[in-house]
Chain A
Amino acid sequence: MSERVVLVGSSVAGVRTAQDLRSGGFDGEIVMLGAERELPYDKPPLSKQVLVGTMSEDDIGLLGAGGWDGLGVDGRLGQRATALDVDERLVAVEGGDDVEYDALVIATGVRPRTLPGGLGDHQSVFTVRELRDGRELSRALAHGGPLMVVGAGFIGAEVASSARSLGVEVTMAEALAAPFDRVLGTEVGRHLTELHRSHGVDVLTEASVAAIEPTRDGAVVRFADGRSREAATVVVGIGTIPNTEWLVSSGIPLEDGVLVDEGCAVQAAEGVYAVGDVARRWDPATDVYRRVEHWTSAVEQAHAVAQQIIHPLAPAEAAKAPYFWSDQFGTKIQMVGRPGDADRVDLHTFEVKGVDRTVALYSSAGAFAAGVTFGWPRGIAACRAAWASRPPVADVERTLHTLSSGMAPVA
């Protein structure tokens, strides 16, 4: 068994790896390097509960009541890994001592993509990734709007929803013709766009930002086609970039993330793993490397890696159905599977307890590929149970009908 595990990254993937190592009986040393100075915290609430004030910074802490000592982790915050030497098994650290490892877990996550050409280098322009972003944005929104959200993705959509619930005027600008198209496809993206419009969000499409000009009260956002809007605050949510620059000199395979096998191990370097948003994991069923930015995937990968460090000869835990959630305007939007794999999507409405619930069922050559539910957690649970065997999509629809009519079990 490894004697010292070094975790690079102090977000949920890193913390869960530490917790699962301890609960699995690992009694060696665990060192965690965190580039941020904040104690580990959970990120999903940053664009939701933290912005509207229903959760405090204490509420989103990940370490638990016992802190570092309770977990038996040597937490080194404000220490950024700058290089990895896989032959010497050494991590170079800025702001602290270099550290040797027997096992290394890379959990450095992603950072928000920014507007090109320094367009967003302005004090009223925010991204949402770290606690300090949430803190500052929360303060800015407390002063009122208008808010301009650039990019119709999930982070932007959640910020828009949070801001509306605070009474802030919101415009959302999407460069493409169809908002949310990249993740959900056109039809379901349209449904979500309508949800935003019905809650007072002014959704602009085919709106590429050409300039953001500072004003006394915020900024004027100018679009390429001549449209413009004034905003007190601008939030940019246009995707992410994996934090892998520090690994370039190590020679481990990088390509939109750290390439790892089905057990999240780096094949080219003994004792090195990657988990969470930064990991691009091989899927044996489709022979494709996929990087998945879902909370649940990070937690599953952390557990799989902890098990491998403790039991190096046991087979690795297989990846589960990709699953994620988003909360917007009081509607829980939940997704299982990969809409991008589908050649067809159908929107259905199921009445449950007198309330219509919208479900999008995606299929590929008739086989269930993905499901998205709006305000029906029990429906997504049934979709998740079905996903592993990729049944005919008609079977999933029938299951949901049965579920909507009574108390049939979900699995």
Chain B
Amino acid sequence: MRIHADIGKCQGYGNCVAIDAKHFDLDDDGMVVVIDDAVAPDELDTTEEAVRSCPVSAIWTQAAGGPADE
């Protein structure tokens, strides 16, 4: 699975970082930074929890090689 982020939606709430710091960080302006967009199968539960925790749905996962982004 791959992680996608919509910077335009991000509000810097940081729930993703609190749950999955391996894949997510924030920059100095508080915008989400995807450190590594590849999610291994054993990491998926944590990454999905981070995705669900976003109050503004700015991040999501999608199968690698799947349909184009939103």
Contact = CB atoms under 8 A, between A and B. Distances in A.
Interface in B22-56: 25-30, 48-49, 52-53, 55
Contact of B26 (A296, A303, A378): A378
A290 interface: no
B15 interface: yes
Given A44-B55, A325-B13, A332-B11, A352 B28 contact: yes
Interface stretch (A69-77, A197-205, A380-388, A390-398): A380-388
Contacts of B26: 377-378, 381, 410
A409 B26 CA distance: 9
A42 B54 CA distance: 13
A176 interface: no
Max count, chain A CB within 10 A of own CB: residue among B14, B25, B29, B30:
B14
B52 A299 contact: yes
A389 to B, nearest CB: 14
Contacts of A375: 30
A323 B28 contact: no
Given A320-B18, A381-B17, 18 more contacts: A19-B52, A296-B13, A299-B52, A300-B53, A303-B52, A323-B18, A325-B13, A332-B11, A334-B14, A353-B29, A376-B30, A378-B26, A378-B27, A380-B14, A381-B26, A384-B14, A385-B21, A409-B25
B53 A296 contact: yes
Size class of the B contact interface (CB-based, 8 Å): 10 to 19
Given A376-B30, A381-B26, A409 B21 contact: yes
Nearest to B53: A299
Interface in A357-388: 375-378, 380-381, 384-385
A375 B26 CA distance: 13
Contact of B28 (A16, A23, A332, A353): A353
Nearest to B32: A377
A210 interface: no
A411 B28 contact: no
14 contacts: A23-B48, A296-B55, A303-B49, A325-B11, A325-B13, A332-B12, A334-B13, A334-B14, A376-B30, A377-B30, A381-B25, A384-B14, A385-B17, A385-B18
Interface string A324-344: 010100001010000000000
5 tightest Cβ-Cβ pairs between the two chains A and B:
A377-B30, A377-B12, A411-B21, A381-B14, A378-B26
Interface of B: 11-15, 17-18, 21, 25-30, 48-49, 52-53, 55
B14 A295 contact: no
B28 A378 contact: yes
A321 B18 contact: yes
Given A332-B30, A378-B28, A410 B49 contact: no
B19 to A, nearest CB: 8
A411 B11 contact: no
B20 to A, nearest CB: 10
B14 A377 contact: yes
Contacts of B14: 334, 377-378, 380-381, 384
Nearest to B14: A381
Given A377-B13, A377-B26, A295 B21 contact: no
Given A325-B13, A352-B28, A381 B53 contact: no
A285 B44 CA distance: 29
Max count, chain A CB within 10 A of own CB: residue among B11, B12, B48:
B12
Nearest to B48: A23
A298 to B, nearest CB: 11
B22 to A, nearest CB: 9
Interface string A19-41: 11001000000000000000000
Given A332-B12, A381-B14, A410 B30 contact: no
B17 to A, nearest CB: 5
Contacts of B17: 381, 384-385, 410-411
A342 to B, nearest CB: 21
Given A332-B30, A353-B28, A377-B12, A384 B55 contact: no
